[in-house]
Amino acid sequence: MRHRMNVYFPPELLKQIADLADRKKLSRSAIVEAAVASFLSPDGADRREAAFARRLDRLSRQVQRLERNLGIAIETLALFIRFWLTITPPLSADAQAAAQVKGRQRYEGFVEALGQRLQKGQSLLHEIPEDVDNQSRRPVDRPESEPLGQPRAPVKG
């Protein structure tokens, strides 16, 4: 014997129930009944726990990617600053004003190029392969005479 129960759902949930019922060619009440039975079944808690574990795992991987990307961004900026400080000679007072004007022009060009690159969806992080961690773990001998920032010949291995 079945008993009638009236329930109220938010419109978004009701639309999802109706869509699922249409896809499965079942009534909406059959879909709701199966969902409630699944929720109340003894293994329902195990399934919910597994779903939470999957979500946590996915979030953990996203956090790892964000940490990796942030680390790459920080190292890129640090390397650029170190390179710039290494190769930039101090300026005389007379040349400083001209250098500031040139610097503003270069900065405006940089911001414009960065804006265009971001609009196109280009990213340095997408250009760096995922296996950069594997390569960075291998020690690379850099001769003391080799200037910082100069491109090295690719290491064949």
Q: Which two tokens stand for residue 75?
A: 């190292």
Average pLDDT, the chain: 81
Note the helical H segments in the chain. Answer: 11-24, 28-40, 44-87, 93-119, 124-127, 132-137
In a domain, 1, yes or no: no
* Domain shared by 33 and 50, yes or no: no
In a domain, 49, yes or no: yes
Tell me the pLDDT tens digit for each residue of 104-142.
999 899 889 888 888 888 777 777 665 565 566 655 554
Number of domains in the chain: 3
* Domain shared by 112 and 78, yes or no: no
* Domain shared by 35 and 66, yes or no: no
In a domain, 55, yes or no: yes
Between CA 9 and CA 96 the distance in angstroms is: 69
Q: Domain of residue 74: give its range.
A: 44-88
Higher pLDDT, 88 or 21: 21
* Domain shared by 81 and 100, yes or no: no
Q: Residue 77 half-sphere exposure, CB side, CA atoms within 13 Å?
A: 6
State yes or no: pLDDT of 27 exceeds 60.
Answer: yes
In a domain, 139, yes or no: no
What global pTM score does this model have?
Answer: 0.41
In a domain, 6, yes or no: no
Query: What is the DSSP secondary structure assignment for residue 41, as one 8-state letter?
Result: S
